[in-house]
Amino acid sequence: MNHIRTSEIVLSGLDGGNPLAFLAALGATITATAIWPETLIYWQLEVGGWRPVLVNCESDKEVFLQKLHAALKEASMTVFDLDDKLPFAAEKFIAALRASARQCTPSNRREADFLTGMGTDMYPEQEKNKIGVFQDTSLRMVRSGDSNGQGLPAYAKAIRQITKIEHLDQALFQQWDYRDGYFSLRWDPIEDQRYALRWDNPSNSEKKIVIGANSLAIEALQLLPTAPVGTECRTTGFHDEKGRGTFFTWPIWTVKIGINTIRSLLAYPGLHQSELPHEDLSAMGVAAVYRSQRIRPNQYYSNFAPPHPV
């Protein structure tokens, strides 16, 4: 009997209990799927954490990194050219949505998925009898625009532009050492470095991030769309608990699944219940669920609090 051998590669640098690492795993899967369309992902316990395993792609680490890096560099980032800030003028956003709807196809939905991941055109803010900015994603943790007028779109483009193969290697296969000084997207709980918790003033210190993880995590916006609920924008993966705040919840699964199944799993309502339907989740192959509060230390930015298993 002939057995079909599937190739696997363990992304041992990513810990599924970290929201940035989880988002990076999604981004790696999206990018790998663009190269190897049959790519699947599952998680396994290894070295004290949940590590993502990609299936049906290149198993040689060096070749994998070269092709992944090339695909990231070739991936269109034009949606981030709309504005340096997020959110921006609703009228500009609506025009982009309409243009994307006309051009989108089942095999070419990248721009449409990014736009729905950015925010919703429903119920924009009103400014002096005119339409203001649209409501944007809960994953926008940085200021809408810094002193230079730059926000998440500008940061995303800059991070992607400087991403090298060694950055991906460090993020996917090495222990994170936070040696890269660059823009922070604030998706890693370790980036919550308030003055009261440090010996120095963090505003005067260079931000240290893992460039490769952030570069890949940007791709995950495509799998976490927003939608209007009532008159407010809600982001897939997030929920509000009255009197407690906003939380991001994500699953860890041990069955091999692809992008479309991941998209459905992330939107499963049971993940956001106060008491999870563990039997149902187990039947889906979900082995663990993590939750992190989205905290707002000040008026300018947000952070993820240290996550905990649910």
Same domain? For 202 and 220 the reply is: yes
Query: What integer pLDDT is reported at residue 1 of this predicted model?
Result: 43
Do the domain assignments include residue 49? yes
How would residue 126 be classed by pLDDT, with cut points 50, 70 and 90? Answer: confident
- Among 123, 113, 118, smallest CA distance to 138 is for 118
Query: What integer pLDDT is reported at residue 197 of this predicted model?
Result: 56
Query: What integer pLDDT is reported at residue 131 of this predicted model?
Result: 78
pLDDT (tens digit per residue) in 217-269: 999 999 999 999 999 999 999 999 988 999 999 999 999 999 999 999 999 99
Query: What integer pLDDT is reported at residue 199 of this predicted model?
Result: 54
- Among 250, 220, 252, 246, smallest CA distance to 234 is for 246
- Does residue 3 carry a pLDDT above 50? no
How would residue 147 be classed by pLDDT, with cut points 50, 70 and 90? Answer: very high
Prediction pTM value = 0.94
Cα angle for residues 212, 218, 219 (degrees, 5° grid): 105
- Does residue 127 carry a pLDDT above 90? no
DSSP one-letter string for 190-218:
GG---GGGSSS-GGGSPPEE-HHHHHHHG
Number of domains composing the chain = 2
Same domain? For 221 and 294 the reply is: yes
- Does residue 182 carry a pLDDT above 80? yes
Query: What integer pLDDT is reported at residue 178 of this predicted model?
Result: 95
- Which long-range contacts does 228-235 make (Cβ < 8 Å, 24+ apart)? 228/120, 228/122, 228/123, 228/135, 231/122, 231/123, 232/123, 232/135, 233/119, 233/120, 233/122, 233/123, 233/134, 233/135, 233/136, 233/137, 234/138, 235/137, 235/138, 235/139
Same domain? For 13 and 134 the reply is: no
Same domain? For 186 and 274 the reply is: yes
Same domain? For 128 and 28 the reply is: no
Query: What integer pLDDT is reported at residue 158 of this predicted model?
Result: 97
In this prediction, what percent of the chain has a pLDDT beyond 70? 93
Q: What is the mean pLDDT of the segment spanning 50-76?
A: 98
pLDDT (tens digit per residue) in 104-119: 999 899 999 999 999 9
Domain end marker among 120, 152, 184: 152
Do the domain assignments include residue 157? no
Same domain? For 29 and 105 the reply is: no
For the chain, what is the radius of gyration of the CA atoms? 19
How would residue 125 be classed by pLDDT, with cut points 50, 70 and 90? Answer: confident
Query: What integer pLDDT is reported at residue 84 of this predicted model?
Result: 98
Query: What integer pLDDT is reported at residue 6 of this predicted model?
Result: 78
How would residue 2 be classed by pLDDT, with cut points 50, 70 and 90? Answer: very low
- Does residue 129 carry a pLDDT above 90? no
Please state, rounded to an integer, the average pLDDT across all residues of the chain. 94
Query: What integer pLDDT is reported at residue 233 of this predicted model?
Result: 97
Q: What is the residue range of 237's domain?
A: 8-75+164-309
**Scanning the structure block, which residue is given the tokens 């999870």?**
276
Which residues are CB-neighbours of 17 under 8 A, at least 6 positions away? 49, 50, 290, 307, 309
Same domain? For 207 and 190 the reply is: yes
Query: What integer pLDDT is reported at residue 135 of this predicted model?
Result: 97
Q: How far, in whole angstroms, is CA 25 from its chain's centroid? A: 9
pLDDT (tens digit per residue) in 190-218: 998 665 555 555 555 667 899 999 999 99
For residue 309, the SS3 value is: strand
- Phi and psi at 119, nearest 5°, equal 170, -170
**Scanning the structure block, which residue is given the tokens 């219940």?**
273
Query: What integer pLDDT is reported at residue 203 of this predicted model?
Result: 56
Same domain? For 227 and 94 the reply is: no
Query: What integer pLDDT is reported at residue 37 of this predicted model?
Result: 97
